[in-house]
Structure 1
Amino acid sequence: MTAVAVTGLGLVTAAGIGAQATWAGVCAGRSAARRDPNLAGLAVDFSCTVPGFDPALHVGTRSRLIHDRFVQLALTAAREAVADAGHDPAGWDGARVGVVVGCGLGGVATWERQQRAMTENGPGSVSALLIPMLVPNMVAGNIAIDLKATGPNLVTATACASGATALGIARDLLLADRCDIVLAGGSEAGVSPLIVTGFAQMGALSRRTDDPAAASRPFDAGRDGFVIGEGSAVLVLEREPDARARGAHIRARFAGYGASADAHHLTAPDPQGTGVIKATYDALRDAGLAPEDIDHVNAHGTSTPLNDEIEANALGVLFGAGPAVTSTKGVLGHALGAAGAIEAALSVLTLQQGTVPPTANLEHQDPKIDLDVVAGAPRHGRLKAAVSNSFGFGGQNAVLVFAAA
């Protein structure tokens, strides 16, 4: 099978704007969670949001008028990724360039803001751009407009697996020769009072309001829920022979993809991890690798009591205690539909740099979790292959396998 190469990536996260800032932040292992003035008065009043993001500066002066934040973050990441890959959209064959982006929620901030306007000031106060600002497909549509990509244009919505699913679909498009280049990733800006309240009502969020920076603690015995975050990641994918022919710098090979459904519960994972195990075996088979070939796992690792234990059990069945495991949600929080793409990009950087970032706030590993979880400081060494896990409400599972270039 023809290999798929990652030739560029862009990141906008709570650790900073740009891949370099994000990588430095996750390697430092310090949580980005902080009290959020937009959540003041709520039961959970902290989050992981992108610091210093200015739509006028990072996207354009008209952006505030025509884009929701989830689109603004994605445009910023996509432009960085394309530049990193050495492409010039003015010169490429746009009909052979696809865009696939994962997004779970869409423009929730626009929705809430416009609902308030209508309630307080009547229908005439609602923006004529309400619909194109809030519908999820517009994240891919706007990237296509901005970068002149006229090939297949899709948005995947598999909850917190959305970004990983988008990458898998993008790989399929390349292998089916539907595209020569695909810009693939995820974007989410769901830190709004209504969404945060909804997650809090479910009991999914950490309640460490006295110490937000210590709240997201994947695999720790004291974990009590996730910290909501936002962000975007876009990866440029090409068939490896095409990338080499143009002299591109290949960051890593996107070797395998597996997906499954738990078919178990609206929000709770299957206690046996059956779907996770199946998706992982499928991804490994797709990559032509065995479990013992995997050196690193970027875990879904949400910091919720149930998810972390079930994921750890599944990883134990799959890999034993072998691979070095991390969850970057300890630093970045949980960016929902963007998380899988962000973690895929970080998996690529892990392989490229030979460095596994630490899991923030892991002070006392849960004794039920028998994994080699990296904590305290980054771990350095030669890494040949990595797995990136993403799971979502509805029992959605997406597993990606990357190999060193």
Structure 2
Amino acid sequence: MSSDPWGRVDEQGTVYVRTAEGERVVGSWQAGSPEEALAYFERKYQGLAAEIGLLEHRVRKTDLAAKEAQTALDHLRAQVVEAHAVGDLEALAKRLDTLAGEIESRQVERKAARAKAADETRTAKEALVAEAEQLAESTQWREAGDRLRALVDTWKGLPRLDRKSDDELWHRFSHARSVFSKHRKAHFAALDAERDQAKAVKERLVAEAEALSNSTDWGDTAAAYRDLMAQWKAAGRAQRDAEDELWARFRGAQDVFFQARSAVFTERDAEQGENQKLKEALLLEAEAILPITDLKAAKAALREVNERWEAIGHVPRDAKPKLDARLNSVERAIREAEEAEWQRSNPEAKARAAGMTGLLQGAVDKLKADLEKARSAGNEAKVKKLESELAGRQALLDQALKSLEEFSG
């Protein structure tokens, strides 16, 4: 009989393995020595241990699926329980128990990871849906359209959720895109209608502009073109090709009119420039009337200047205010001289001036008398007050006397 710590072979060649529950028959050996029998069954044990080692490596070092790992573990556990091998089978069983715990932990971790990933995916898709629903009401057609397409690409790159959740979120996402597309389509349909209407309006404006292009009624026609331009701007834009063609015609009609007007105005400006020179020379004559020494002669000279002034005609617009101002200065000087002459010859005004002078003279004389009394009495306060009043009345008297002298002049 032969034996080792984990097994033995009896005289009949029966091979036993020792376990915690006692010995168990694992086979029979008749072809050689007991030592060879034990070595054979020990090699079977080592093979079983190697398989367990391989599974440990796959579980700990690779991404072996938990279900596959559990299946392999259950198979090896059955082999260990019924193993026809000699060795520490309990140690192998403990290794499998440890591995079972690791597989279970791996399952829990992966389940948590899947749940976390699902939560993150749900959050990401809900954010995409919320943004898409916000964009659905946007009128920034290009930017919002580009962004929605980018959101679709992002959605496609995300994992699927459970069917119900994923379908519900996709329905909202797709609905938001449909709403945006519907609004955009309606907007551009309305825009096309507006452009068609703008085209019709501008065709009418072009016809009116072309009809006016040969007019020589410069003022009214220029105003009409300004009105047509205001209507053009208010009409909105037609489609680009129609807009460009209509604008070229509209602008061309204006150019015909304004170029003709410019030629006429250039000729007129030359004539008005000559008129300006004539009026400047005439102004020198008018300004020579001043200062006025003979009112009657001055008025006659001014009448003659005015007659020649009106006969000369128009001058350039920018020169007119300055020329008129110089002539008006002469006219104003003559009017003032006439007013002064009338005032000197007005008996009522002269009487009022004389009366006012007499009143002021009486007041001054009285103040002077009161002042002498106050000085004699030594009343300094009253002296000071009377001096102030006297100065004021004397100034008024001086002015009244001067006015009275003008009436006598």
TM-score bucket of the superposed structures, by smaller chain: under 0.3
Query: RCO greater where, 1 or 2, for CA within 8 Å and sep 6 or more?
Result: 1
Q: Between Structure 1 and Structure 2, which shows a larger proportion of strand residues?
A: 1
The structure number with the bigger radius of gyration is 2
Q: Between Structure 1 and Structure 2, which shows a larger proportion of helix residues?
A: 2
